């Protein structure tokens, strides 16, 4: 009986590995995959004999590039209803804060999400997820945060877990109960924070529904002191942390997140140098969300030069949500991170592969083409890797390999 050393062999393409350094680009390359793992990659002219005869198939790709599967590390893609009516209001001159104060904003999505059945949430989220997957996304983070009570937060997280079972994608779930103050706790934000710590967090953890815990540290969200309470509780349950920080003002949220070794601090338009230094020290990823910046028509840019200076890893995500970033395209975010935030094209590519994996704590298994990594990668019909950031409104995705399986 023949002993096979790989299931599939992919030849005839160039590689953008996202490893950085000398291994970043391999021209005229091949990749061998066994089970769910990359077992060999290198020049096509030096394929070891063992890998030339895979048990299932050889894919002779006609030029183009292979990159790691893209990772959308910040999304709210499970939600009820939409907020196009608020888009209209904002165009007529009302601010995001003013709309939030009128009971619009996040709370209108909370109402719609509480009323939605699990089935209808699954259906609407599936459509958004499919759009992402068609563009080469193989891992996505999905937050709760439109329930703001135990029942609906768990409903959202269950839907997110279900999406991971129904589609060829790794879903990482994040509990975002500290997203906004629910109407039943009006003027009682400390009591709601206690409810999160005493009831919601332990129950969600017992049900194994969350891979991380997040919060919204902002004037229209929660204070740093309140967030710290949630962080302490999450830490005691061994749940990794993330934070929406410095989006609309500087609350020193990123420094707080860093002091708790958070995986990431996200948004960061108002981040200052002290916050950047703190993030560098704790190796906390800066997740940049150009879709929200664009859609809210913000003008204050995140401090990209400082993030570079202190070598804070930068990731990019869609922030897919109905209020501030109704966006289902990670490729578009690549382009916008370059045009708006002035990332280099290489920084942008690393920001949706290696660094977005790190923002989810998946850096040992995801986000790079490397022997031993999970075999998630994408073949693109492009001439150079930077074409992925250059074009917008284009989808050159030709073939996705998820956990070693070509998706055809």
Sites for Zn ion among residues 176-235 (CB under 5 A): none
Task: Pick the closer one to Zn ion by CB: 31 or 316.
Answer: 316
Task: Pick the closer one to Zn ion by CB: 38 or 256.
Answer: 256
Angle, helix 150-166 to helix 118-134, in steps of 10 degrees: 40
For the chain, what is the largest distance between any 2 Cα atoms, rounded to a whole number of angstroms? 73
**Smallest separation, CB 379 to Zn ion (Å):** 30
- Classify residue 115 by burial, with Cβ atoms within 10 Å: 0-12, 13-18, 19+: exposed
Residue 247 DSSP label: S
**In 40-117, alpha helices (H):** 84-91, 96-101, 106-115
Task: Pick the closer one to Zn ion by CB: 319 or 376.
Answer: 319
**Smallest separation, CB 33 to Zn ion (Å):** 34
d(CA 115, CA 147): 10
**Smallest separation, CB 289 to Zn ion (Å):** 7
Angle, helix 106-115 to helix 150-166, in steps of 10 degrees: 70
**Smallest separation, CB 268 to Zn ion (Å):** 12
d(CA 181, CA 189): 6
Task: Pick the closer one to Zn ion by CB: 70 or 400.
Answer: 70
Q: How many CA atoms lie within 13 A of 395 on its CB side?
A: 14
Q: Give how many residues touch Zn ion by CB under 5 A.
A: 1
**Smallest separation, CB 246 to Zn ion (Å):** 13
**Over the range 368-378, which residues count as b (16 or more CB within 10 Å of their CB) and which as e?**
bbeeebbbbbb
Window contacting Zn ion (CB under 5 A); options: 83-91, 231-239, 277-285, 314-322: 314-322
273 to 312: interface string for Zn ion, x by CB under 5 A: ----------------------------------------
Window contacting Zn ion (CB under 5 A); options: 133-141, 191-199, 315-323, 336-344: 315-323
Token pair in block for residue 371: 């022997």
Sites for Zn ion among residues 317-336 (CB under 5 A): 319
| Closest residue to Zn ion: CB criterion | 319
**Over the range 291-309, which residues count as b (16 or more CB within 10 Å of their CB) and which as e?**
bbbbbbebeeebbbebbee
Window contacting Zn ion (CB under 5 A); options: 36-44, 121-129, 248-256, 313-321: 313-321
Q: Which helix (H) or strand (E) holds 229?
A: helix 224-236
**Smallest separation, CB 136 to Zn ion (Å):** 22
Task: Pick the closer one to Zn ion by CB: 268 or 304.
Answer: 268
Sites for Zn ion among residues 241-280 (CB under 5 A): none
d(CA 178, CA 76): 14
Window contacting Zn ion (CB under 5 A); options: 102-110, 119-127, 188-196, 316-324: 316-324
Residues that bind Zn ion (CB under 5 A): 319
């Amino acid at each position: 009986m023949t002993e096979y050393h790989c299931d599939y062999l992919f030849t005839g393409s160039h590689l953008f590995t996202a490893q950085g350094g000398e291994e970043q680009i391999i021209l005229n390359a091949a990749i061998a995959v066994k089970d769910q793992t990359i077992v060999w990659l290198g020049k096509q002219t030096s394929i070891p004999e063992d890998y030339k005869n895979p048990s299932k198939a050889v894919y002779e790709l006609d030029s183009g590039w292979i990159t790691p599967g893209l990772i959308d590390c910040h999304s709210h893609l499970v939600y009820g209803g939409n907020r196009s009516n608020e888009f209209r209001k904002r165009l007529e001159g009302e601010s995001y804060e003013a709309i939030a104060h009128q009971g619009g904003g996040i709370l209108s999505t909370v109402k719609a999400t509480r009323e939605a059945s699990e089935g209808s949430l699954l259906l609407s989220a599936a459509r958004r997820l499919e759009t992402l997957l068609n563009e080469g996304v193989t891992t996505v983070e999905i937050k709760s945060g439109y329930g703001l009570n135990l029942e609906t937060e768990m409903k959202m997280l269950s839907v997110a877990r279900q999406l991971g079972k129904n589609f060829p994608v790794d879903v990482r779930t994040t509990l975002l109960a500290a997203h906004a103050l629910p109407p039943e706790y009006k003027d009682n934000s400390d009591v709601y924070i206690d409810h999160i710590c005493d009831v919601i967090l332990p129950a969600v953890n017992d049900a194994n529904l969350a891979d991380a815990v997040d919060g919204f540290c902002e004037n229209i969200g929660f204070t740093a002191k309140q967030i710290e309470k949630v962080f302490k509780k999450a830490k005691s349950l061994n749940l990794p942390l993330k934070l929406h920080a410095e989006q609309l003002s500087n609350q020193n949220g990123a420094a707080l997140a860093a002091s708790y070794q958070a995986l990431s601090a996200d948004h960061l338009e108002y981040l200052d140098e002290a916050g950047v230094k703190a993030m560098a020290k704790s190796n906390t990823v800066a997740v940049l969300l150009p879709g929200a910046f664009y859609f809210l028509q913000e003008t204050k840019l995140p401090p990209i030069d400082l993030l570079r200076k202190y070598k804070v890893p930068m990731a990019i995500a869609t922030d897919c949500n109905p209020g501030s970033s109704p966006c289902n395209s990670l490729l578009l975010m690549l382009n916008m991170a370059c045009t708006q935030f002035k990332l280099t094209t290489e920084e942008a590519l690393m920001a949706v592969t290696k660094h977005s994996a790190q923002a989810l704590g998946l850096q040992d298994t995801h986000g790079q083409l490397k022997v031993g990594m999970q075999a998630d990668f994408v073949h693109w019909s492009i001439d150079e890797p930077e074409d992925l950031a250059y074009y917008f409104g284009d989808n050159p995705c030709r073939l996705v390999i998820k956990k070693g399986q070509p998706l055809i």
